[in-house]
Amino acid sequence: MRPLCVAVGLLLSVAPVFAQPTAVATAALPARPADALSPAFHKQRRELLRQALPPGAVAVLFAAPVRNRANDVDYIYHQNPDFYYLTGYQEPDAVLVLFKEPQTLNGQPGITEALFVQPRDARREQWNGRRLGTEGARQQLGLQFAADNQEFAKAGIRWADFSQVLLLDLPADVRDDPSDPADLYDLLATFRRQAAVPAGFDPRQQALHQTMQQQGVGSADRTRQMLENLTRQRPSVAQDAYVQRYLKATTDAERQQALATRPVLRFNTATLSSALNELRAVKTADEIALLRRAVRISAAGQREVMKATHTGLGERELQGIHEFVYRKYDAEFEGYPSIVGAGANGCILHYTTNDKPLVGNELVLMDCGAEYRGYSADVTRTIPPNGKFSPAQRQIYELVLAAQEAGFAACRPGAIFQAPDQAARKVVAEGLLKLGIIKQAEEARRYFPHGTSHYLGLDVHDRGSYGPLAAGNVITVEPGIYIPAGSPCDQKWWNIGVRIEDDLLITPTGYENLSHEAPRTVADIEALMAQPSALDGFKLPQL
């Protein structure tokens, strides 16, 4: 953007009093992709969530804040996944309100759902892109009640009449745009003021209470240790009567009695979060179609990188090939920052620097996933840049592959969520013992420090109940072994990092591997890496 454009843009954004009056936008509404989730999907999700609310309750959800990258440049906007799941709305400065019982808003009776959105504004849309506005929210999203966000403060919501006000963690560190009287900063302030949210409201306390309930008395030692640590770290926990009652209990019966006294708070984050966990854990056919597309695109990226990789490339170049393939197949974003780590970098679990100029002959771990229509894949492959695994690399790789196969076999409806992890860990521990890398099975966690599975969906680490697996769950199975230099084992294993990750749909009879198109076996990887790449002749001039 030219300096003059920046100056004019700033003038219009921070000093609208000097600009022409805001014109009513007449340009076409933003187009929705043909395969986007339908308004009927979002409507059904809202209704199912509303049915899960307790009597007399209201639920409030806010759009994600705009995040500043530097100076007057913001990050590309990404909607709060819960907000998108319930509305399909992808713009900032909005709030959704769901009522258990019908209410009257602005004189209109029978309202069970209300969405307040940023208004259309021709001047701002010229600079920052088209907006849906109120009419667009009604037409494209099918909301029963939609109004400009400036109407939120005047809608007449009788917050004091509700027995519970259910919300998620309120967005923090939100900037105030002085030129916008109803941006997210103002919407939050209005809600806090009108609903009389207590100044000391701390969602972390409710999350802690929820964790205590979930762990029950079966993990008493672990729960006690957690609570004692938090008591030392956070004064609010030390003063929490519910926590202290649990800590004073000395028997399982007393602990059970203590857990039963959990306070029901009027401003409640746990109830809404739990309801969304249950709802989002089981994907509909429409969601599975989008996830399948995201995963296939990611698998295509892995295949193309395998064919294009050689020892003279750098991590960032390999990252670029993945992400070029994503865009070629119309994926809007990456689901998370791409991880492309060679050698020692592959032993860093969330390595995203990706700046090693030459990968050389060391294994390259590539944990990459496309985001398609909001849904994220998560596929990891580990490959030898020269096209052939060394004997040591192959031994570790095939151990991880065996662990993954064991994890796959544990995936079926009714199995506990931890079943794939338990199966994979057993294989890794036995294998590391056999290779002489560890002396006791308990030492395996040093080299396999993360979990094996998580839910997948609108978030790469998606919402879910973490209860028994059920048909419609989409999960990862991703065992790994990471042996950084200096580890207490033979040096031939040092700097070998291997993770193999696939995305599985739990079916009524077992599972479907959605990412099967990305080769996993040593033989298949080496065979594909021997094939020519479409990028073999791609050369840029020297700069």
Amino acid at 325: V
- Return residue ranges of the chain for CATH 3.40.350.10: 39-195
Active site positions, annotated: 72, 350, 367, 378, 450, 454, 461, 478, 482, 499, 501
CA dist., res. 82 & res. 115, Å (int)? 14
What's the CATH class of domain 39-195?
Answer: alpha beta
Q: In this predicted structure, what is the pLDDT of residue 23? A: 53
Task: For the chain, give the percent of residues with pLDDT over 90.
Answer: 82
Q: Where are the alpha helices (DSSP H) in 339-477?
A: 391-409, 419-435
pLDDT above 50 (res 16): no
The mean-pLDDT minimum among 78-92, 232-246, 401-415 falls in 232-246
In this structure, what token pair is assigned to residue 533? 């790449």
Read off the pLDDT band of 13 (50, 70, 90).
very low
Torsion angle, alpha carbons of 86, 88, 91, 95, to 10: -30
Q: Is the dihedral of CA 45, 166, 76, 2 positive or negative?
A: positive
Q: Which residues contact 434 (CB under 8 A, 6 or more apart)?
A: none
In this structure, what token pair is assigned to residue 218? 């079966």
Read off the pLDDT band of 25 (50, 70, 90).
low
92 contacts 64 by C-beta, under 8 angstroms: yes
Task: For the chain, give the percent of residues with pLDDT over 70.
Answer: 95
Read off the pLDDT band of 26 (50, 70, 90).
low
Best CA proximity match to 314, nearest among 272, 265, 357 = 357
Q: In this predicted structure, what is the pLDDT of residue 210? A: 80
258 contacts 246 by C-beta, under 8 angstroms: yes
Q: Which residues contact 306 (CB under 8 A, 6 or more apart)?
A: 381, 383, 519, 525, 528, 529
Q: Please say whether the structural domain 282-530 has been given the CATH code 3.90.340.10.
A: no
Q: In this predicted structure, what is the pLDDT of residue 145? A: 96
In this structure, what token pair is assigned to residue 297? 């695109």
Read off the pLDDT band of 221 (50, 70, 90).
confident
Read off the pLDDT band of 22 (50, 70, 90).
low
Best CA proximity match to 59, nearest among 275, 210, 273, 272 = 272
3-state helix, strand, coil in the chain (%, to 5): 40, 15, 40
Amino acid at 326: Y
Over residues 226-253, the mean pLDDT reads 89
489 contacts 516 by C-beta, under 8 angstroms: no
Q: In this predicted structure, what is the pLDDT of residue 218? A: 76
Q: In this predicted structure, what is the pLDDT of residue 239? A: 86
Read off the pLDDT band of 3 (50, 70, 90).
very low
In this structure, what token pair is assigned to residue 410? 């544990």
Per-residue pLDDT tens digits for 94-141: 999 999 999 999 899 999 999 999 999 999 999 999 999 999 999 999
DSSP label at residue 21? P
Q: Where are the alpha helices (DSSP H) in 249-390?
A: 252-259, 270-281, 285-308, 315-328
463 contacts 281 by C-beta, under 8 angstroms: yes
CA dist., res. 74 & res. 493, Å (int)? 44
List strand residue ranges (DSSP E) for 28-87, in order. 57-62, 68-70, 73-74
Helices 220-233 & 241-248 angle (0-180, nearest 10): 130
- Return residue ranges of the chain for CATH 3.90.230.10: 282-530
Per-residue pLDDT tens digits for 50-75: 999 999 999 999 999 999 999 999 99
CA dist., res. 44 & res. 64, Å (int)? 22
Per-residue pLDDT tens digits for 302-358: 999 999 999 999 999 999 999 999 999 999 999 999 999 999 999 999 999 999 999
Q: Please list the residues that pair with 103 across neighbouring strands.
A: 111
Q: Please list the residues that pair with 504 across neighbouring strands.
A: 475, 513
Q: In this predicted structure, what is the pLDDT of residue 472? A: 98
pLDDT above 60 (res 11): no
Amino acid at 39: P
pLDDT above 50 (res 9): no
